[in-house]
Amino acid sequence: MSTWEATGVGSHPGEDHLEAIKVVFGEVPGLPYLPELPARGVGADMIGRTAGLLVDLPVEVQPSGWRLTDRPGRDHQRAVDHLRRDLDGLEEIGHDYAGPLKLQVCGPWTLAGSIELKHGDKMLSDAGAVRDLTASLAQGVADHCADVRRRLPGVTEIVLQLDEPGLPGVLAGTVPTASGFGRLAAVEEWRVEESMRSFDAPIVHCCAPSVPFDVLRRAGVRGVSVDAALLRRRDEDSVGEAVEAGLRFLLGVVPGRDTRLPDVGVIAKPALELWRRLGFAPDRLAGQVVLTPACGLAGASPAYARAALAACRKAAQVLREDPEAGSQGG
């Protein structure tokens, strides 16, 4: 299992895509990624950016948010243009890069809980619509990955990250209806598992509490990206089973917004302590745990975004060089 060390979740501050890409390749060269810049507005947000990849499911912005429409319009085109510009920048800066590359898209369940049907409730309210959405997204993502491989022939593997902050709510039945007055019915776990198999061994990012580790493990995902501060002791049996099954853990260990960053030993500590409590061999730690910020960096300053990624990389070196540190003290 190759060591990825450290990476970012996805979003960056500001509107300068070339600068953001340079920061990523400079600070997390072990697993760089295509950054997202939601500050650019419509079509650069998580939902709009991914909706621009959908095949035969055009969307537009309504006062209530994103909605399916009959034909691609200005909002759809804006999302496509943002992504094309980002890919041009990725090609310019990463043209001679060799190694793995991470791409992030919004996962099908968070997307279904955010996009409305043409005349009615959210797509999540209709199981058939969710199936169509998942198939469309899987095809769009495959096309997107193929485009990146053409542009960057040195990429050895594409690591696909599905952003699913809404997944715990989907499973718990707490997603509001389009009107906001009701709640959509909870989705069965088997449906979620089935949908994840439509993608090529993704990593699932969920920065919300109650991450469904068991569901994701059964679905065959290759890893889970979580905020370490939201992990609870009751999650640890499920986390242990996932580690045993070989899943990677992308652990968010520095805040996503500006703060004073602590010493690298303090940053590495949550990963070391988790590993010690789970009882796994220290020499497996660096191979299965990747350090990241707790969530996206869109709300940070550019200087902090750079510093946060650098801190994750330096703390990851602690995991690699001194994995026994977690067993010293409680």
Mean pLDDT of residues grouped by 10 in the chain (330 residues)? Answer: 86 98 97 98 95 96 93 95 98 97 98 94 97 98 98 97 98 94 97 97 94 97 96 94 96 97 95 94 92 97 98 95 61
For 312, other C-beta atoms within 10 Å of its C-beta total: 27
Stated as kind and residue range, the H or E segment containing 50 is helix 46-51
- Model pLDDT, residue 2: 65
pLDDT of residue 325: 64
| Secondary structure element (H or E) that encloses residue 75, with its range | helix 74-94
Could you give the angle at the alpha carbon of 216 between the alpha carbons of 295 and 232, nearest 5°?
55
Model confidence, pTM = 0.96
**Residue 213 · residue 242 · CB < 8 Å:** yes
What is the DSSP annotation of 248-309?
Answer: EEEEEEE-SS------HHHHHHHHHHHHHHHT--GGGHHHHEEEEESS-STTS-HHHHHHHH
Q: What is the per-residue pLDDT for 120? A: 85
Residue 193 token pair: 């598992």
Q: Which of 256, 268, 222, 208 has its CA nearest to residue 8?
A: 256
- Residue of 302, 297, 289, 306 lying closest to 4 (CA atoms): 289
Looking at residue 64, its pLDDT comes to: 86
For residues 110-149, b (16+ Cβ closer than 10 Å) or e, as one string?
A: bbbbbbbeeeeebbbbbeebbbbbbbbbbebbbebbeebe
Angstrom distance (rounded) from CA 106 to CA 197 = 15
| Strand 65-68 to 59-62 pairing | antiparallel
Report how far residue 165's alpha carbon sits from residue 321's, in angstroms, rounded to the nearest whole number: 33
Cβ atoms of 293 and 254 within 8 Å: the answer is yes
42 close to 56: Cβ distance less than 8 angstroms = no
What pLDDT is recorded for position 330? 37
210 torsion bin: left (phi>0), alpha (psi -120 to 50), beta (else): left
